[in-house]
Chains A and B, each alone.
Chain A
Amino acid sequence: MIELTQVNAAHGRRTVLALDQLRLLPGQRVAVVGPNGAGKSTLLALLAGAMHPRQGRVRINGLNPATTPPGERARHMAVLTQHEHASPFAVRDILAMGLYALPKGPDRNARSATANSGLNPDARIARILKELELTPLARRPLDRLSGGQQRRVHLARVLLQAEAFAAQASSTQVSAAQPWILLDEPTDALDPRHALLVLDVLRRKAEQGHGLVAVLHDLNLAAALADRVVLLHEGRLLADGTPDVVLQPELLEKAYGCPFRRVLVPDGEGQPRPVLLPDAGALSCIRTDAHRLAHRQDPSTEALLRPSPERAAVGF
């Protein structure tokens, strides 16, 4: 379980996130949405332990992520950051790095073999590669792949880490807590088909009992993935609930500052399914705002623009 209580996070003096109470349960698929700078990545950084809160308590499976040693923390969460690096390592070597925190030595094979799924590391890697359609790329150097392919490789590494420790936790029964999967923009740089593929894989991981927290920009992908949506606005929780409740035009307009329209389109089974669109009038309304700002002629600007004798004297 993830628990945030009275949390206040700041960059320098500026508060970037203030949350009274947020409790996320294992097996939930949580999408974190909100405009740029709303505190989405900050929330993820707090959960991942990359950032200390100025005040308040962050607990993930009962641990304080900011003070837990990395080796222990890796058993309780797998994290995909927004900017992952390219490197000359082959794809399957990158994936093997997701298993770094597994116990080393002869113990490791024995333990994996007795794990519930009965898979050794190589078979695990092969399976996740197949799930994310990466098998043909397994031996290619990562830095020779496209941005979207690299994104899927890193996602596969993160999912592999979560899965391996889930199996380990259940086989050793040290703790029944499943690792959390924390993702910052998992569908970034992915084409629509692979974005859907990733969502499908993520849904299945959640069905296996992993808690899932994903920062997403695309509200429709968020609706497709999540059973719970957390909407942030200016560092505060604006709404929290099922996609049907949170992804409503009025709330979104309040958060994003532009009108939204919710239209129903038939899905694969002919059932109506809501799709969110920025309102057709939104573009012109934004453009009007921008135009007004750009051509604003308040007295102070005018004063600055007017040639003045003193400035001319010093060469302005």
Chain B
Amino acid sequence: MIPCAPHGHALNHPPPVPDPLTIAPTGTPQAEARRIPPVLQRLGLALGFISLCLLAYALGPVASGWEALTVWTKSDPEALRLQAVLWQLRVPRVLLAMGIGASLAAAGAALQGLFRNPLADPGLIGITAGGSVAVVLALALVSMGWISGHPLLLIAFGFPGALLAVWLAYRLGSSRAENPGGGTATLLLAGVGINALAFAATGFLLAVLDDQSLRNFSFWTLGSLSGARWSLLLPALPLLVLPPILLARMGGSLNLMALGEGPAAYAGLSVRRLRRNVLLLVALCVAASVALGGAIGFIGLVTPHMVRPFTGPDQRRLIPASALVGALLLLLADALSRSLLPPQEIPVGVLTAGLGTPVFLHILRSARGRALNRTAA
């Protein structure tokens, strides 16, 4: 035991400390961006966003480039045909890509905050797989004529599957005081397990399905937005748009999870309620995405990591920014998928996986990933 100096003795000469009574707002990472007035920043972001949307809209096997815009001013039969194609196929497809991208990215950002784990991604940890099994099951029932193929019904099927998977992943893989084995490794292994189970289940359903559904099956496992129609999109759009907004509103509470569950609760956060709400909303995001676009991976993993250097760790900024960037990413990936090898289409899930895997490996190697492995041990 070290003998203690007489109390107060050592405190007579504290070192001089700068004394600003108010401290400038934080933002080591975003300090550069702060020099531009916020109004201009937002204007610039909005302009960039809109122009990228238009770019994606103008990419395609027909009516590409300026023609996608100028065709609306003409009224000859060929122009009318193109207008119908654009309106019936491409516009809903663009909207669907944005909705799914925003939904998956917001879900990924919120999961990473809740699990305190940078590798929490709906695809990697098996939530997407859980949802897809349920959706493929629904498709099997549709092909047997037992239920209708209404998009809301598919979402309703996918929701419990995704919810079960996200709950399992949470129990196994979040690093918590009462779950010392939980950590990055466990989370990913749980994902491997759930994905394998889902693969087996879809394989079983494959044996039961007829030809038309087989084609649907490959579409669902690879992820594609070629099925986008207004009839599919309109009923499901609220389920794609609302959960990210609600998740963003929980950003302030999700920030507290960075303290760990115990300290967050002592600070006044109802951890159980937040956890329940976030898991429900994430399951909804994933179920809606899977039902409409199949298993599109890596958007939820990659987007928050792209956005974080600009927003910092604050979930109140991170979730909305991830939603916007995720919308753009999937939009551009989908535009590429239909214009790289026309007239053939590459499933968009193939593109996101191809582009996302290097990023995933980079995160695994990075200091952040290693640090998380240490704290989880």
Contact = CB atoms under 8 A, between A and B. Distances in A.
A119 to B, nearest CB: 10
Given A84-B259, A193-B10, A138 B267 contact: no
Interface in A108-136: 122-123, 125-127, 129-130, 133, 135-136
B110 to A, nearest CB: 16
Contacts of B260: 81, 84-85
Contacts of B177: 83
B366 interface: no
B338 interface: no
Given A74-B268, A84-B259, A92-B23, A224 B17 contact: no
A169 interface: no
A267 interface: yes
Given A93-B314, A100-B256, A133-B14, A70 B5 contact: no
B271 A70 contact: yes
A137 B375 CA distance: 23
Interface of chain B, main secondary structure = loop
A199 B17 contact: no
Nearest to A69: B270
Contacts of A193: 10
A130 B17 contact: yes
Given A81-B262, A85-B116, A141-B28, A221 B256 contact: no
Contacts of B259: 84-85, 87, 94, 97
Interface stretch (A2-10, A56-64, A270-278, A307-315): A270-278
B175 to A, nearest CB: 9
A167 to B, nearest CB: 16
A126 B270 contact: no
Contacts of B28: 90, 139-141
Given A78-B266, A92-B26, A219 B21 contact: no
B38 interface: no
Contact of A85 (B3, B6, B375): B375
A50 interface: yes
B116 A74 contact: no
A312 B26 CA distance: 69
A289 interface: no
Contacts of B268: 70-71, 73-75, 100-101, 161
B10 A196 contact: yes
B17 A79 contact: no
B313 interface: yes
B36 interface: no
A192 B2 contact: yes
Given A88-B312, A140-B28, 10 more contacts: A70-B265, A81-B260, A84-B259, A85-B375, A100-B269, A133-B17, A154-B263, A197-B11, A267-B9, A276-B1
